[in-house]
Amino acid sequence: MSMDSVPHAAAFRRVRLFLLAAFVLPMLAACGVNNVPTYEEQAKAAWGEVQNQYQRRADLIPNLVETVKGFAEQERDVLTSVVEARARATQTTINADQLSDPQAMQQFQQAQDALSGALSRLLVTVERYPDLKSNQNFLALQSQLEGTENRIAVARRDYIEAVRVYNTELRTIPGRWIAAILYPSAEPMQVFEAVQGSSTPPAVSFGTN
């Protein structure tokens, strides 16, 4: 082979690789080769919103507790249970890499459910204090807490749907084949377990007119 033919051969190989890529890449995209990482990122983003809304609720609780304390300091046991449940809930976290761990998800859900229960008991206690129920700061907290509970319900629903799409991709063809070849570390993610009353957000009405 002459020296002049070497550059031509290299150029031909480059052109051939370019044409092959131009032909193969659209086919791979059509087969959903990017579905697994795309759906995974969507599920992680949805989980981030779940955490944001739970944190929003946790941020409201100190002010709620202080407001209740100002009118019903004798309800110390109930107030303490809310503070302790909030501490456990804020300390029990899951990062995006732990979403496939059922134990981590269970611990997170238990901590948040315990806080929901403690808040419910506090709000029942509030019914005995008319002056507290008419307090403007308390009414503002009522509105914020109610809105946050609704946002939590929506965020959880969106996360569950995102995980359903991702997990289905991992379990069906061709997604299962693509994951096995290109994304071997991909694992199904965990969702919230259904508990009694989980289909609706907790009631946060304080009995005001």
Spatial separation of the C-alpha atoms in residues 73 and 70, rounded to whole Å:
6
Spatial separation of the C-alpha atoms in residues 53 and 99, rounded to whole Å:
17
Spatial separation of the C-alpha atoms in residues 47 and 84, rounded to whole Å:
24
* pLDDT score for 12: 62
CATH code of the domain occupying 34-183: 1.20.1440.20
Sign, CA dihedral 199-190-111-42, equals negative
* pLDDT score for 152: 96
What residue ranges of the chain have pLDDT lower than 70? 1-31, 194-209
Nearest CA to 186 out of 46, 33, 51 is that of 33
What is the 3-state secondary structure of 161-180? Answer: HHHHHHHHHHHCCCHHHHHH
* pLDDT score for 9: 63
Spatial separation of the C-alpha atoms in residues 155 and 104, rounded to whole Å:
19
Spatial separation of the C-alpha atoms in residues 110 and 85, rounded to whole Å:
10
Judged by DSSP in three states, 1 sits in coil
Q: Are 85 and 118 in contact (CB under 8 A)?
A: yes
18-24-30 Cα angle (round to 5) = 140
Sequence spans of domains, the chain: 34-183
Burial 155-169 (b: 16+ CB within 10 A, else e): bbebbbebbeebbeb
Spatial separation of the C-alpha atoms in residues 29 and 204, rounded to whole Å:
48
* pLDDT score for 73: 85
* pLDDT score for 142: 86
The dihedrals phi and psi of 182, each to the nearest 5 degrees, come to -100, -25
Spatial separation of the C-alpha atoms in residues 85 and 96, rounded to whole Å:
23
Model pTM?
0.78
